[in-house]
Chain A
Amino acid sequence: MTEITEVPSPFCGIGTDDLTIRMDGVSLKVVENGCAVNTPAFEQMITDTSPRVDGKEVSLDVAVAAAAALLKDTRLPVIGGCATDVNGMRGLLALADRCGAVVDNMNFTGARNNFLALQDSGWMNTTLAEVKNRCDLLLVAGTDLEAFAPRFFERYLWNKESMFLDDTSSREVIYLGKAPSGDASTSPTGRKALVLECATEDLPEVIAVLRALVKGQPVLAASVCGIAAADLLAIAGKLKAAKYGVVTWAAGALAYSQAELTVQTLSEMIKDINNQNTRCSGLPLGGKEGDQTANQVCGWTTGYPARTRFSRGYPEYDPYLNDTNLLLTNGEADAMVWVQAFNVKSVPPVTALPTIVVGRSGMTFAKEPDVFIPVGAPGIDHAGHAYRMDNVVAIRLKKLRDSGLPSTAQVLNAIEQAL
């Protein structure tokens, strides 16, 4: 039995790297600093260690050859999931380039809300250490932050010390839209967050009014979607009075059509505040199951985020048309590769197409894929790199145990070689 400290997690997106993990053979137990997201992800048992072809156990070489054979004469294979570490994404993109595939990260439809806003008008953002040391006002838009990242408040808002605030418990937290599911946002001195609730699909209207108020535009309505205009005016005043306000949202939580316009309104509002003699920054949440990693590596390899196709011999980005589900529904795809090294519950969409799964050991299927190759989890079974939600920090993932499972990169590189 050994104990490993300062273990970084690729699962929660906020870059916790203070976990203590006890290891007994290949079974892991999080004994310190676990949370509802990280603990089960680290403690997931290894089940399969051998690949399967048509449901029968085979050697890795045979499985790789079978996968290559399935991909050999395809016209438009889709590589979905894209949930792995940096080296896994490198292998995935090399394979996609070779076989003219579509690369589509499974969280892209949510992340698209951010990408479309970024690519249309840009933004002013910040990162977690700045939040930890400077943020005096946090506005949470449309997101249950503690359900998203259970340790966010403990690590980045209620930290004992900060460089530029005398008392971190005096920070103010405001929820707009969704109410928090627990008490994590209550300060250590008992001060509760201000919550202005509205339906998620009403956020475009509420946030548009908030931006107008920030800009000093007159608003005649007394209330907006159930929120008093006076309350919104008060929030606008607090944002402008704060020294370092931070506005956060999870793009995936804005689950209504054209939510990119909400992200854009928030981002433009932040710019407006910065033009009124104070500072304010955005903090988009994400970073789960390799989504930032997929977009970063795809970004430097192709120029585009991870919804990009190689079918014409060069990368083409389309945030709508390259959607896995659309390509399957429309009958455009002719094979499916699912890459998911983090989450055993995240299985490929059911399809009649030839399907190859490169998935974390422990995955179970309603419909057995043609080829299943179990792989290790980055940060547990092999070393690697993963991006945190704020996109700047790539954390160095450790190898904790010797499971004998191959990495995503090893498997995808082998398939590419076999082609």
Chain B
Amino acid sequence: MLIKLTGGTVYDPASGIDGQQQDIYIKDGRIVTKPAEAFQVDKEYDLKGKVVMSGAIDMHTHIGGGKGNIARTLLPEDHRQDPVMRSDITRSGCGHAMPSTFVTGYRYAEMGYTSGFEPALLPVNARQAHMEMADIPILDKGGYVMLGSDDYLLRLMTAKKDQKAINDYVAWTIQSAKAIGVKVVNPGGINAFKFNQRKLDLDEQNAHYGVTPRDILQVLATAVKEIGVSHPLHVHGCNLGVPGNMQTTLDTIQGIGGLPMHLTHIQFHSYGTEGDFKFSSGAARIAEAINKNKNITIDVGQILFGQTVTASGDSMRQHANHKHASPNKWVTMDIECDAGCGVVPFKYKDKNFVNALQWAIGLETFLLVDDPWRIFLTTDHPNGAPFTSYPHLIRLLMDRSFRNEVLSTIHPEAQKMTTLASIEREYTLQEIAIMTRAGAAKLIGLKDRGGLSAGNWADITVYTSNTDRQKMFEKPDYVFKDGQLVVVDGKVVSTKWGTTHTVKPNFDPSVEKGLKDYFDRYLTMKLGNFKISDDEITEDGRGSITVHPLRH
């Protein structure tokens, strides 16, 4: 079957196309060049005057894994506000802060997204994350496996094992968890919390192991680079949410010594201590450092006002933040000598000084970082806001007068503490396409995704341009996933199952000797039962695994 998308205005940064009128041909799920010989178009869509982009990719969204399900279980009252009916083609569920898996897939697709990446796949909980993601329809998915507070790594470091030993362990873990990248959360801090440490600065030692967050970042960023994984080490830094953590973030950037590093939800790590409330914006200095250090990429973790829930691997900081829980209930867990988690419901209020300034700090960051290829649009769903608020966020970025209108309604002291009103920048459609498509695919190392040239999978979103960018982005005219029309006028019209994106870095098989001994002595399952096999993802006939090339 040959599908032709005729005459749309195409924004495809991956090919350097910025708003040119082009036809697109789709065959067998992929974009193809216009057939050379006589051909018959089976289905044609007239897209004259429409905006065409590839399907959007959320490179950091908590859509699979235990802490998300704890967040769901914790908040029945939130689900009751947003029940979702079943239909002939869709399953029932719930929406808002932490939607059910099926609704997650539908609502992402209905905004023109075709992929989402779970950033915190605990090795021991990766199976659950994949099972949940297997129940998210339409979207492609993948995950970054979490290391850095696992006792095995810290033992390797304390025993002064060489970088190769660490590389083998990291590569083995990526393969056994079926991941596409590596994340570190509060490096060593989740572990330190188990030893009753309540804070851990970049150069502070873990009480038991003596290693510091700086050491951990160094060995993991090196490992990720040396084993050839495209996605740089994905870092949730030390001191999340602590006033003054801007300095920690700047030190982290300096300390990594030029290695590729992605700093996630940087808004939560960009706080100064100035002003009457001892809480100020560090966005300008952070943005300056990002602009200068080309090895660094970031996503923002924008907060937006309203009820949500924060679900993080950072048990140490989540425990410290539980005082802000709203409603007042929260969970932390220590997990399997592997990691931890903390789930704290939050209600961000525009009339609360800190929340209002957090909102402004996120936006300042977006607007002060020059290179859209190195910054990504996230709310750290659901931590800053549910992913369904992306169209609103896009409007804030693209529409200065709207932005200033909202700014004028937030806490007056916060208005005084931000430079936002004076920032003139408005994001262009091409820049939005870079942040949410081409740049994200490049950052994760996705082959044949995030672009509209021939050879790419046909993940395509078609919008009607509207000066109200929120309206435009919340209701695409068409969304195609692997060439299948799944959304019309912002509503799901058919469903399918996406693939699971992974990488398979090589390791020396002898790494399993040390691991087997460790598992038998200290853990609670056999090494062989720990590793996730391909058939666990593919056996139900819905899932598939896509292995992406390494960077060599």
**Chain A residues packing against B (C-beta within 8 Å):** 6, 8, 15, 17-18, 86-87, 90, 94, 97-98, 115, 118-130, 132-134, 155-156, 160-164, 243-244, 274, 277-279, 281, 295-296, 299-305, 310, 313-317, 383, 385, 391-396
**CB-CB under 8 A for A125 and B76, given A87-B540, A243-B196, A314-B86:** no
Contact of A124 among B84, B325, B332 (CB under 8 A): B332
Contacts of A310 in B (CB 8 A): 86, 92
A15 and B528 CA atoms in complex are apart in Å by 14
- A129 touching B76, Cβ below 8 Å: no
User: By the criterion CB–CB under 8 Å, are B333 and A124 in contact?
Assistant: yes
Pair A121/B328 contact, Cβ less than 8 Å: yes
Inter-chain contact A392/B329, CB cutoff 8 Å: no
- B residues within 8 A CB of A396? 127, 529, 532-533, 536
- Contact across chains for B524 and A299 when beta carbons are under 8 A apart: no
> What number of A-B contacts does a CB cutoff of 8 Å give?
186
Given A160-B521, A274-B319, A315-B94, output 19 extra A-B contacts at Cβ < 8 Å: A18-B526, A115-B73, A121-B328, A125-B333, A129-B336, A130-B335, A133-B337, A134-B194, A163-B151, A164-B208, A296-B69, A299-B72, A302-B92, A302-B100, A304-B73, A315-B93, A392-B125, A394-B127, A396-B529
Are B92 and A315 in contact (CB-based, < 8 A)? Answer: yes
Residues 521-540 of chain B, each 1 if its beta carbon lies under 8 Å from chain A, else 0? 11111101100110110011
CA distance A301 to B79 in the complex (A): 12
Nearest residue (CB) in A for B99 is A303
Bound-complex Cα distance A18 to B525 (A): 8
* Contact of A121 with B329 at beta-carbon distance under 8 Å, contacts A314-B84, A314-B93, A392-B124 already known: yes
The B interface is mostly helix, strand or loop, or mixed, namely: mixed
Is B522 a contact partner of A122 (Cβ separation < 8 A)? no
Q: How far is the CA of A121 from the CA of B336 in the complex (A)?
A: 24
Q: Which one of B23-31, B128-136, B232-240, B263-271 is at the interface? A: B128-136
Q: Which residues of B317-372 are within 8 A (CB) of A?
A: 319, 325, 328-338, 343
Q: Does B74 contact A (CB under 8 A)?
A: yes
Contact A302–B333 (Cβ < 8 Å)? no
User: Does B255 have its Cβ within 8 Å of any Cβ on chain A?
Assistant: no
Residues of A within 8 A of B329 (CB): 118-122
Which chain B residues numbered 500 to 552 have a C-beta less than 8 Å away from chain A? 521-526, 528-529, 532-533, 535-536, 539-540
B102 at the interface (CB under 8 A from A): yes
Tell me whether A302 and B529 are in contact in the complex, defined as CB-CB below 8 angstroms, given that A296-B69, A392-B66 are known contacts.
no
Whether A302 touches B94, Cβ cut-off 8 Å, given contacts A15-B525, A126-B334, A163-B337, is yes
Which residue on chain A has the smallest CB distance to residue B539?
A383
Contact B74 A122 (CB under 8 A): yes
Residue of A119, A129, A301, A316 touching B74 (CB-CB under 8 A): A119
How many chain-B residues does the 8 Å CB contact rule pick out?
Answer: 65
List, in ascending order, chain A residues with CB within 8 A of B258's CB.
none
Contacts known (A124-B331, A315-B92); A130 close to B85, Cβ less than 8 A: no
In the complex, chain B residues 85-129 whose Cβ is within 8 Å of any chain A Cβ: 85-86, 91-94, 98-102, 122, 124-125, 127-128
Q: Which residues of A contact B79 (CB under 8 A)?
A: 303-304, 315, 317
B73 near A299 with CB under 8 A, answer yes
CB-CB under 8 A from B131, the residues of chain A are 86, 385, 394
- Contact flag A133-B92 (CB < 8 Å), given A121-B328, A296-B128, A385-B127: no
Q: Which residue of chain B lies nearest to A413 when distances are taken between CB atoms in the complex?
A: B540
Are A161 and B208 touching (Cβ within 8 A)? Answer: no
> Which 4 A-B residue pairings sit nearest by Cβ, starting from the closest?
A303-B94, A303-B79, A314-B83, A129-B336
* A300→B334 contact, CB < 8 A: no
B234-254 vs A, CB cutoff 8 Å, 1 = contact: the mask equals 000000000000000000000
B-chain residues with CB within 8 Å of residue A155 when the two chains form the complex: 524
Q: Is the CB of A301 within 8 A of B529?
A: no
Q: Which residue of B lies closest to A131 (CB)?
A: B524
Question: Within the complex, what minimum Cβ distance (angstroms) separates B105 from chain A?
Answer: 12
Q: Quick one: given A133-B337, A315-B94, are A279 and B86 in contact (CB under 8 Å)?
A: no
